[in-house]
Structure 1
Amino acid sequence: MKWFSPCGGKRKEGGLFSMRRIVLTVLVLWGIFLLASSVAWGEGKTIKVLAMTGPWVSGPVKVHGEEWGKMTGNRVEVIEADFADLFPKMQQAAATRSKAFDILLAGNIWMADLVGWGYVIPLDDYLKDPEVQYETDVPDGIKLKNMFGGKTYGLICDNDNMYLFYRKDVLGNPDYRAKFKEKYGYEYNVPPKTLDELIDVAEFFNGWDWDNDGEIEYGFVRSTKRGAQTYFYSLPWVAPYVVVPRDKAPAQGILYFQPDMTPLVNSPGWVKGIEKFIEMGKRGCGPGLDWVRGDVINEMILGHAAMAIDWGDIGPNSHDVQSKVKGLIGYALPPGTKEYWDWQKGEWVKTEEVHYAPVHCFNGWSFYITSTTDYPDLCWDFVKYMISPEVSAKDVANPFSGYQPWRKSHMQNLEAWVQAGWTEEEAREYIANTLAVTDHPNAVIDIRIPGSAEYMDVYELYLTVALSGEKSVQDAMNDCAKEWDAITERLGKDAQTKFYRQHLGLE
């Protein structure tokens, strides 16, 4: 789950997001008041949307629900739940065939569960509507995330993936580049292209005052704390070493398991990726293993870090009124490698070109229509409004929505970005990079099988064991693989294999 805390990071500048959250909460409460005090918008129907507690993610549903209601004479009721309660509420509703919810705004990574329960309906016939512009305006990478087992069940409204953020002014400084070359014997790329280069550049910029503000800065920031999405932060490090290029593999972005559910978490490629993740911590990061996502965002936005690999929120938040890096952030694919482990042949393969494998961590928030609703066509009309080019263009430009760009037309409709303080050039750069990660041929779609959260929780446990040095990376990942196998056996290997192959598009 992509989220961050409204904290002040590792320093004492005050909470960059604290006042924003207060203001947003007031705005959302005001929106709820407007909804509650409105007459029932005629004699229309009420559709109920289950979403995560706002203001982020659910906020746009409230705003546009009111708009749509006034246009159609119907009403949208948003039922909120904390993230930890969201999946259990859907699970309970599916088990009891409850009519409590008509639409789900849920994680794309839960698609296998929702489909397996028979709780959501396929949307392919609805997508034939030319107003949706699904074939022409929606990237292939988004279509892949929307599909499961050859059918479209969820519709992305928030395009989650991780990529590299870097300080253009700092890395582009000619004096710094010359000093780096003198020390390391080569001139680094802006941005760094490989993980090894990223570590060197981070080390060079770590632990000194490179922006002359009187404070010590970091080369790189990431999350390292158990329970703070640390496993997501490790995936861009392991993927380039594990993912076999699309033209040499049975499916795109095979990372977690082989197609027969043999774990890849303890493969030589995965182990090497974690070793590089640990090496970065020793050479290029601030001290300690208590970093969380709020620290990552704040340290970048407050000008204390040169680079980070994170979800796209750093971009919009770099234009916050308290940001010290407005217009100074660059965007790029997460760095790759010059080798990968071919699990099919059991050997390392060297590459002349950089081998990239970006990861769609969490995949994004998606709209689903439940199989128990009495109003599927009405639900579709509202979903169509939410994902329309016009409405979605405003939402992805709004840092308060939590949504990231996902339509091709988001590159052209930049008025909302300019109003938010971006230049057209920077907005295009940001959106273009997001879509490049989305459509990369080696991109990893985050795993969608029953029990995926349990697999990842086990992985994060052993990842933090390796980070702390309690066990070697290989031993920790071997333990993880054994527990993954146990989860698979408990849930039923044949069933899990079928779900995983459907996730990969092999069935």
Structure 2
Amino acid sequence: GELCMEATKANVKEGEFAGVQLTFMGLNNQNLHNVLFRGFLKPWETYTGAKINWIDLAQADYNARLQQSIATGTVDFDIIEMGAPFEGDVCGKGLTSEMPDWVKDQIDMKDVVAYLQPPVGTWDGKQYRVTVDGDAHNFNYRTDVFADADLAKAWKDSGGGGEWGVPKTWQQVQAVTKFLKGKQFQGQDVYGYLDAPKAWGGFGFYFLGSRASAYAKHPDDKAWLFDADTMKPRINNPAWVRAIQDVIDALPSEPADQINADPNTTAFQQFLAGTGSMITWWGDVGSNVKTNDSSVVGDVTGFSILPGSDDVYNSKTGQWDKLASGPNHAPNCAYLGWGVYVMARVDSDEKKKKAAWSAAAHLGGKDLSLWCAAYPSGFQPYRNSHFNIPE
């Protein structure tokens, strides 16, 4: 934070916010998010004179706490770490402050990748979000498991389809997961895919979505969650039902009591510790396999886009289509990443409003973002400049 203060100093005088107190609500998941924000904002507090009070929430508690604040009209925070799926609940009710132009310039909005540009972060054409994260689910797998000669022989002897290797479709994921039940690898029980069925404050939905996307997102149709013309939900159509059934069918082949595993369990207690050979997650798994002290799979983890499907459901015709191009792939931009939003309750106090937006802009600053993208921070790359780094 201290090394990235130049952008703040260009817009704020030293001590300009003396006497201002702000309340920031966000996550403390995996000792990241608010835990990092505290450190990032400490030099900002020292320079500006403002003081920040913190509301820390577990991921499973976040949605309920936010919705309670909205429903009861008791918004008790000035800044919130929030994602695009909540913008209708919050921005749509006029609870957020519109981003000033100087903030857009300070954070270099034009550098943010295309899929996080407006309409993401906007409501009725007004910008509210300082993006600090870019989210997409990817497929993580054990390279050693899928290169093992003994498992390859057992796969062939069992009549498994094709050569033993990393699954490319969800149909293959299912077959491999069931095949590995009861098998041993390097003297330990080996498992296939790790589902996360336990409720996780609404965020677990994205993991089912990643199982469903290749079934439900037809390349000739922009929509997969709702019908774009009628807004009728599609989550009970045959594609989503198949994804749900896949989870039910795979659970008996997964670790004992997997039904009580949430995504934190699957990633940080299971996969990093060597349990399971396939998992869908945000980029945190990719960084943590190499950096987390609990990881034993740093040298044997591979990465890919989400598995595809041999067929895809066509919501317009009600039929399953096999594409001439081969399996259908539909990677899931799960959640669209975290952002920082300023609440409208600061708008009546210009000094407090500028302070809140300055804090948000510091967290979304271009220099600070590069550190977050490279470090296992809980935040993934979200700027074009993150992908264009001179070596």
Tell me the TM-score normalized by structure 1.
0.64
Separation in structure 1 between the aligned mates of residue 317 and residue 17 of structure 2, nearest angstrom: 65
Separation in structure 1 between the aligned mates of residue 54 and residue 198 of structure 2, nearest angstrom: 33
User: Is 1:110 paired with 2:86?
Assistant: yes
2:234 matched residue in structure 1: 264
* Deviation readout 1:227-260 (Å, 9 max, x if unpaired): 6765433221222222222xx23xx443245542
2:330 matched residue in structure 1: 357
Unaligned runs of 5+ in 1: 1-39, 415-423, 425-507
Separation in structure 1 between the aligned mates of residue 100 and residue 215 of structure 2, nearest angstrom: 35
User: Is 1:73 paired with 2:49?
Assistant: yes
After TM superposition, the structure 1 = structure 2 runs for residues 200-349 of structure 1, keeping only pairs within 5 Å, are 200-210=175-185, 212=186, 214-226=187-199, 230-245=204-219, 248-249=220-221, 252-282=222-252, 284-288=253-257, 289-297=259-267, 298-318=269-289, 319-349=291-321
2:383 matched residue in structure 1: 407
Separation in structure 1 between the aligned mates of residue 16 and residue 344 of structure 2, nearest angstrom: 26
Contact 2:18/2:48 (CA < 8 Å) preserved in 1? no
Contact 2:138/2:280 (CA < 8 Å) preserved in 1? yes
Using the TM superposition, give the Cα deviation of residue 270 of structure 1 relative to its aligned residue in structure 2, in angstroms. Answer: 1.8
After TM superposition, the structure 1 = structure 2 runs for residues 21-60 of structure 1, keeping only pairs within 5 Å, are 43=18, 45-53=20-28, 55-60=31-36
Q: Secondary structure at the match of 1:47?
A: strand
Identity of aligned residues (%): 24
Using the TM superposition, give the Cα deviation of residue 110 of structure 1 relative to its aligned residue in structure 2, in angstroms. Answer: 1.0
What is the identity, as a one-letter code, of the residue corresponding to 2:311?
E
Q: Secondary structure at the match of 2:345?
A: coil
2:113 matched residue in structure 1: 139
User: Where is the helix percentage greater, Structure 1 or Structure 2?
Assistant: 1
Contact 1:65/1:75 (CA < 8 Å) preserved in 2? no
What is the identity, as a one-letter code, of the residue corresponding to 1:205?
L
After TM superposition, the structure 1 = structure 2 runs for residues 129-168 of structure 1, keeping only pairs within 5 Å, are 129=105, 131-135=106-110, 137-143=111-117, 145-168=120-143
Q: 1:231 to 1:49 in 2, by over 3 A?
A: closer
* Deviation readout 1:396-432 (Å, 9 max, x if unpaired): 4443x43233223334569xxxxxxxxx9xxxxxxxx
* Deviation readout 1:421-466 (Å, 9 max, x if unpaired): xxx9xxxxxxxxxxxxxxxxxxxxxxxxxxxxxxxxxxxxxxxxxx
Q: 1:44 to 1:56 in 2, by over 3 A?
A: same
Q: 1:58 to 1:168 in 2, by over 3 A?
A: same
Tell me the TM-score normalized by structure 2.
0.81
Using the TM superposition, give the Cα deviation of residue 186 of structure 1 relative to its aligned residue in structure 2, in angstroms. Answer: 1.0
Q: Secondary structure at the match of 1:338?
A: coil
2:10 matched residue in structure 1: none
1:391 matched residue in structure 2: 368
* Deviation readout 1:329-351 (Å, 9 max, x if unpaired): 11211111132222123322221
Higher RCO structure, 1 or 2 (CA under 8 Å, sep 6+): 2
What is the identity, as a one-letter code, of the residue corresponding to 1:114?
V
Q: 1:269 to 1:299 in 2, by over 3 A?
A: same
Q: Secondary structure at the match of 1:278?
A: helix
What is the identity, as a one-letter code, of the residue corresponding to 1:202?
T
What is the identity, as a one-letter code, of the residue corresponding to 2:244?
I
Unaligned runs of 5+ in 2: 1-14
2:9 matched residue in structure 1: none
Tell me the number of residue pairs that the alignment of Structure 1 and Structure 2 aligns.
362
Q: 1:42 to 1:379 in 2, by over 3 A?
A: closer
Q: 1:133 to 1:281 in 2, by over 3 A?
A: same
Q: Secondary structure at the match of 2:116?
A: helix
Using the TM superposition, give the Cα deviation of residue 299 of structure 1 relative to its aligned residue in structure 2, in angstroms. Answer: 1.6
What is the identity, as a one-letter code, of the residue corresponding to 2:241?
V
Q: Secondary structure at the match of 1:286?
A: coil
Q: 1:338 to 1:90 in 2, by over 3 A?
A: same
Separation in structure 2 between the aligned mates of residue 206 and residue 355 of structure 1, nearest angstrom: 27
Q: 1:285 to 1:43 in 2, by over 3 A?
A: closer
* Two-structure CA RMSD over aligned residues (Å): 3.0
Using the TM superposition, give the Cα deviation of residue 216 of structure 1 relative to its aligned residue in structure 2, in angstroms. Answer: 0.9
Alignment partner for residue 101 of structure 1, among 77, 93, 103? 77
Q: 1:171 to 1:350 in 2, by over 3 A?
A: same
Using the TM superposition, give the Cα deviation of residue 164 of structure 1 relative to its aligned residue in structure 2, in angstroms. Answer: 1.1
Q: Secondary structure at the match of 2:22?
A: strand
Contact 2:87/2:123 (CA < 8 Å) preserved in 1? yes
Using the TM superposition, give the Cα deviation of residue 174 of structure 1 relative to its aligned residue in structure 2, in angstroms. Answer: 5.4
Using the TM superposition, give the Cα deviation of residue 200 of structure 1 relative to its aligned residue in structure 2, in angstroms. Answer: 2.3
Q: 1:295 to 1:64 in 2, by over 3 A?
A: closer
Contact 2:131/2:340 (CA < 8 Å) preserved in 1? yes
Contact 1:313/1:402 (CA < 8 Å) preserved in 2? yes
